[in-house]
Structure 1
Amino acid sequence: MVVVKIAFILSVGLVGILAHNHQSKELDAKYNWWQHEVFYQIYPRSFQDSNGDGIGDLQGITSRLQYFKDTGITSVWLSPIYESPMVDFGYDISNYTNIQPEYGTLEDFDALIAKANELGVKVILDFVPNHSSNKHPWFIKSVAREPGYEDFYVWEDGILLENGTRVPPNNWLSVFSGSAWMWNEERQQYYLRQFTYGQPDLNYRNPAVIKAMDDVMLFWLNKGIAGFRIDAIIYIYEDAQLRDEPPSGTTDDPNNEAYLSHIYTRNQPEDYGLLQHWRQLLDNYTANHEGPLRIMMTEGYASVSQLMEYYEDSNGVQGPQFPFNFDFITELNANSTAADFVFYISRWLIYMPHGHVANWVMGNHDNPRVASRFGEKSVDAMNMLLMTLPGIGITYNGEELGMTDYRDISWSDTVDQPACEAGIDNYKTISRDPERTPMQWNSDLNAGFSSANRTWLPVNPNYKDLNLRNQQQARRSHYKIYQSLLKLRQLPVLKNGSFEPEVVNRRVFAFKRELKNEHTLLTIVNVSNRTELVNIADFIDQPNRLSVLVAGVDSQHRVGDRLKAEAIELAPNEGLVIQLNKRK
């Protein structure tokens, strides 16, 4: 009888433990799914055209969702798909709750979400709250001073000079050059537009605007998305007193946005409160609906101390799950030293509030591609960094292939609005078209992107050689290395391991990821254009056997190779991921 009771107690206890573990895994999948995710940015206009008009669309994206499952990507972020006049290719929105007709319909979006759910791929939408299009009904009503919309945008009379000339209310400058104020003849006032003339700034000091944008968020959450990437958050609020901004001293061109120090038009204190409000909206939605935690990530080029306030304020009030970390874009380049890399990687981790998650953005639609910034031979090393650093990785479509900018787009083919405004002599220096060219799927017509005679941007001519199909069939390729790194990220040591960096010399740095009862992983990168022979024996715990886990396309090393800590040879711009095995 005693034996039976003990067996029963043990049985009940085991069932309880298993149930607890199962519940813990379910909670982890619901609330923490994003903490070690790789988010893949899709630029919809350039991803896949399904109807032969030369423009990517939602049905095209849906047709390619299997690619993400096959690759190991489980979260995608779509650049704007909303109805828009396309002055800034979707970042000028005329209807926040409808799809741009070129991209499809709301039914197409529903089908995309259904297929993504079937494949286990979460969808994040770009959310553009700072401004709408000047074709949005809200703006048209505000111009006409219709009741309820009079102050939906930032309107000012300007200053009337003694000679009768009316000028803008202050010296604020647009990101895209010239005054940030645009005169509206019908309303007889200036409206603020920190970007193009077709993107008037919404007035977030008006509670009705916040309510309207809350409703937009809820509309898309009800469609089944997993969260939002918030665009241009640093521009949301401006100084209520409209004070002039001081000169920066960095340029003599008074129309260049760098001419001023933007202390009154960017990173205002109210920005944090709005983000905290939206965080609460998303948390409340998650609490009241099935499915994963709905998350928020933010785009904002700001100082590291300002960005850390986005995670949480001094009182611990939570903002977005993470603000984008653009240091690989803004602070590091092909001329950076090993110490530069270690400094900027460590800086984010040191400044980040306890309990939050780091992230690393390698590229996006507004900046030259990784292969063009760091050099084509650096592609694999940069992806090794992205995948083995602690936290979240952000990949821009095509970076897994090592796609390059197409810098020879002609003036007649140029469509980026700031480039068009710069004119034929200057457009190449500022155009963002080169990094937005169509995805290179194969060596067929238009790289498999479209069957059209002409695509919205020309395909990079290197697509005959540089394309997904070639890389899938090759023995070694950027794509296969990227895919292997995604698999490697499932290791507990990369999910939860500690991080310890080391500057080996001016040209080589390394870092260890360590976790109790797990093999230590070491990532080592040569950032120079010369071969390096390095000794890392003092950096790793001896005795260890060093085995190559991931090597680049052109590496002399192969997976499984044994290395000597005292003499590791790295080719120019080479990276390696190495496993340390304790000698018995």
Structure 2
Amino acid sequence: MVKRVVKCLRLRLARRRAQVSVAVALTAVMVAGPLAACGPAAPPVVSDRYRSYYEIFVGSFADSNGDGVGDLAGVTQKLSYVRDDLGADGIWLTPINPSPSYHKYDTTDFEAIDPQFGTMQDFDTLVAKAHRADVRVLMDLVVQHTSSRHPWFTQAIQALQAGTTNKYVDYYRFSSTPKAGYVRYGASDIYYSAVFSPDMPDLNLDDPGVRGEIAGIVGFWLRKGVDGFRLDATTSYYPYDAAASVAFQRWLKATSTAVRPDAYLVGEAWTDSTTLASYYASGVDSYFNYPFATVSGTLNAALSAKDGTALSQATQRWNATIHAANPAAMDAPFISNHDNPRPAGYLMRSPRLEKLAAVTYLLMPGSPFLYYGEEIGMLGSGSDPNKRMPMVWSATDRTGMTKPPPGGTYDESAVVPVDQQLKDPGSVLRFYHDVLALRRRTPELARGTYASITASDRAVLAFSDTYQGATVYVLENLDTTAHTEQLGAMGLPPSARIRDYLLTDGTATPTLSGGRLMLPAGAVVVLR
């Protein structure tokens, strides 16, 4: 028995950082799951395209040189935090190209690094060290528009003002008369399409020259070792022509895989569920699951109503829908990003609810995306800069801390910083680590065929995931009181046993006896 417990401990403590004390680690294991019920050794961790990605708003994450701006060297310094302390195995970098703005979504050079963030050597070092740690790297690919200061645009304007033309005139959409969605260039009779801002002129994605430039950009970064791209603003590629947008994204996917067959693409399509599902026909691997995300999404509604049945049924329908459009589709669940309010705010700053929301979306099929600071309960809503505030590493040591972005005013003094949460086995951060560890050692969760299971109480979220002939069953109690379920009544096999569990609140542990499963409030159980 002792040998068995030690074996389970070693499994659960794999990748714990050396400096975490044995006593703290043992406590974390006792909270995370049953040692006596550890059962057979878990399947080996699978390293493939299914990942748990961590979105890093580079300028606000980690400052390596003390200038108050986060940078690529800072990200490199924090790779051990991302991989070991948190447990993510992929990162998405928001734009790092030269740009006049703090957010960098209006680039002036697609094949360079903004000096604020470092050098190309810094980038190469980050990619190399990330890959050595089995962390994949995604870049933001912003090809719907450029900066108004981009040489392509300035040369096009110069030609038009001189009454001549050049190839760059065709790179954008110009008009000599006012049009909907067009803005005027100064006091001239030159108008240009700009969906987002006069500072961000839209590219003409139909132009062969533009397509050639984009193909070159994609190839440049993939050959430098990038593992894929987050596609910015896909609904704005062709705002009034969904079919054209799908066709363009199909071209982007083909262009990427021609350079690197395993390149992973995830698209931002902030739109209704019908349009979003139709985009999967492009062959793009994933799209952010906006219908489930944020304060108004399916997930938060289910948590608020304590309706696990509705959530599991909705998840099954959604996965069936996207796989009908693309059999190889991978959902990309999330609850926050740099454009949306941080969940700690709308979850009433309740660690219990933050943990419940986290385990619910992180155990969904596909590749989930976490937003930096989400795992420590950072706050932020309203104006965009307030959703992009500095990562709170410590309350006493300012090393690595950045300044707020321009316009950022949110008070983060109430946030418990990383260094304190790492020492607390019951913290939100340590819970995120435990959920991601569970996800890694249970390959069925990300890759399996999802099937909703109806529990006797709607507050119990129940589902199965089947992958390569193996099935796991997950039951999660969304309620604040305990519930008991009969496995047989739900169609679960009598041989099913508890293999893992997580607690979002309290210390009461799940029990299984005679086919009766007792789920404490907020408990999550994995059975095989």
Give the TM-score normalised by structure 1. 0.72
Q: Which residue of 2 aligns with 1:319?
A: 283
Answer yes or no: is 1:85 the counterpart of 2:115.
no
The 10-residue stretch of structure 1 (105-114 or 185-194) with the greater mean CA deviation from structure 2: 185-194
Q: Which of residues 239, 252, 257 is equivalent to 1:283?
A: 257
Q: Distance in 1 between matches of 2:112 and 2:468?
A: 50
**CA, structure 1 residues 555+521, in 2 after alignment: closer, same or farther (shift >3 Å)?**
farther
TM superposition shift of 1:532: 5.7
TM superposition shift of 1:536: 4.9
Identity %: 26
1:83-127 deviation per Cα after TM superposition (whole angstroms, max 9, x unaligned): 11107x111111111112211122221221122222222111000
Q: Distance in 2 between matches of 1:497 and 1:128?
A: 32
1:360-386 deviation per Cα after TM superposition (whole angstroms, max 9, x unaligned): 122211001222234433221222122
**CA, structure 1 residues 183+228, in 2 after alignment: closer, same or farther (shift >3 Å)?**
same
TM superposition shift of 1:404: 2.6
Contact 2:364 2:446 in 1 (8 A): no
TM superposition shift of 1:144: 1.6
Q: Distance in 2 between matches of 1:40 and 1:82?
A: 19
Q: Which residue of 2 aligns with 1:259?
A: none
Unaligned runs of at least 5 residues, structure 1: 1-24, 159-167, 171-179, 238-264, 288-292, 313-317, 408-429
Answer yes or no: is 1:154 the counterpart of 2:173.
yes
Q: Which residue of 2 aligns with 1:467?
A: 417
1:100-115 equivalences under 5 Å are: 100-115=114-129
Q: Which structure has the greater CA radius of gyration?
A: 1
Contact 1:548 1:562 in 2 (8 A): no
Answer yes or no: is 1:372 the counterpart of 2:338.
no
1:429-449 deviation per Cα after TM superposition (whole angstroms, max 9, x unaligned): x41223211112222255x54
**CA, structure 1 residues 550+465, in 2 after alignment: closer, same or farther (shift >3 Å)?**
farther
Answer yes or no: is 1:331 the counterpart of 2:346.
no
Aligned residue type for 1:325: N
Q: Which residue of 2 aligns with 1:169?
A: 179
**CA, structure 1 residues 132+515, in 2 after alignment: closer, same or farther (shift >3 Å)?**
closer
Q: Distance in 2 between matches of 1:456 and 1:449?
A: 18
1:138-537 equivalences under 5 Å are: 138-145=152-159, 146-158=165-177, 168-170=178-180, 180-185=181-186, 188-237=189-238, 265-286=239-260, 293-312=262-281, 319-329=283-293, 331-332=297-298, 334-336=300-302, 337=305, 338=307, 339-352=309-322, 353=324, 354-375=327-348, 376=350, 377-405=352-380, 430-445=382-397, 448-450=399-401, 461-463=411-413, 466-489=416-439, 490-502=441-453, 504=455, 505-514=457-466, 520-526=472-478, 531=481, 533=483, 535-537=485-487
Aligned residue type for 1:149: Y
Aligned residue type for 2:452: P
Contact 1:385 1:523 in 2 (8 A): no
Answer yes or no: is 1:76 the counterpart of 2:91.
yes
Contact 2:385 2:405 in 1 (8 A): no
The 10-residue stretch of structure 1 (206-215 or 326-335) with the greater mean CA deviation from structure 2: 326-335
Contact 2:153 2:172 in 1 (8 A): yes
2:169 alignment partner, SS class = coil
TM superposition shift of 1:150: 1.5
Q: Distance in 1 between matches of 2:448 and 2:175?
A: 54
Query: How many correspondences in the alignment?
Result: 464
TM superposition shift of 1:49: 1.0
**CA, structure 1 residues 549+226, in 2 after alignment: closer, same or farther (shift >3 Å)?**
same
Contact 1:548 1:561 in 2 (8 A): no
2:171 alignment partner, SS class = coil
The 10-residue stretch of structure 1 (55-64 or 544-553) with the greater mean CA deviation from structure 2: 544-553
Aligned residue type for 1:499: Y
Answer yes or no: is 1:41 the counterpart of 2:60.
no
Structure with the bigger percentage of helix: 2
Q: Which residue of 1 aligns with 2:524?
A: 577
1:501 alignment partner, SS class = strand
Greater RCO (Cα-Cα under 8 Å, separation 6 or more): 2
TM superposition shift of 1:194: 0.8
Contact 2:389 2:405 in 1 (8 A): no
Q: Distance in 2 between matches of 1:131 and 1:508?
A: 45
TM superposition shift of 1:552: 3.4
TM superposition shift of 1:461: 4.6
Contact 2:183 2:193 in 1 (8 A): yes
Contact 2:235 2:270 in 1 (8 A): yes
TM superposition shift of 1:348: 1.4
Give the TM-score normalised by structure 2. 0.80
2:265 alignment partner, SS class = strand
1:124 alignment partner, SS class = strand
Aligned residue type for 2:442: L
Q: Distance in 2 between matches of 1:492 and 1:79?
A: 28
Q: Distance in 2 between matches of 1:95 and 1:449?
A: 27
TM superposition shift of 1:398: 1.7
1:389-443 deviation per Cα after TM superposition (whole angstroms, max 9, x unaligned): 22211111122223232x5xxxxxxxxxxxxxxxxxxxxxx41223211112222
TM superposition shift of 1:519: 6.8
TM superposition shift of 1:570: 4.7
Q: Which residue of 1 aligns with 2:162?
A: none
**CA, structure 1 residues 43+303, in 2 after alignment: closer, same or farther (shift >3 Å)?**
same
TM superposition shift of 1:458: 5.9
**CA, structure 1 residues 486+267, in 2 after alignment: closer, same or farther (shift >3 Å)?**
farther
TM superposition shift of 1:475: 2.3
Q: Which residue of 1 aligns with 2:79?
A: 65
Q: Which residue of 2 aligns with 1:290?
A: none
TM superposition shift of 1:477: 1.9
Contact 1:48 1:57 in 2 (8 A): yes
1:114-167 deviation per Cα after TM superposition (whole angstroms, max 9, x unaligned): 222222221110001111111111111111225111121111222xxxxxxxxx
Aligned residue type for 2:245: D
Q: Distance in 2 between matches of 1:201 and 1:515?
A: 43
Contact 1:438 1:449 in 2 (8 A): no
1:550 alignment partner, SS class = strand
Q: Which of residues 507, 510, 516 is equivalent to 1:556?
A: 507
1:268-316 deviation per Cα after TM superposition (whole angstroms, max 9, x unaligned): 31112211112112221125xxxxx11211111233333333333xxxx
Unaligned runs of at least 5 residues, structure 2: 1-43, 160-164
Q: Distance in 1 between matches of 2:418 and 2:407?
A: 19
Q: Which residue of 2 aligns with 1:257?
A: none
2:170 alignment partner, SS class = coil
2:69 alignment partner, SS class = coil
1:556 alignment partner, SS class = coil
Q: Distance in 2 between matches of 1:54 and 1:563?
A: 56
Aligned residue type for 1:331: G
Q: Distance in 2 between matches of 1:451 and 1:268?
A: 40
Q: Which residue of 2 aligns with 1:8?
A: none
Answer yes or no: is 1:118 the counterpart of 2:132.
yes
Aligned residue type for 1:579: V
Contact 1:334 1:373 in 2 (8 A): no
RMSD across aligned positions (CA): 2.9
2:258 alignment partner, SS class = helix
Contact 1:440 1:467 in 2 (8 A): yes
TM superposition shift of 1:267: 4.9
TM superposition shift of 1:266: 4.2
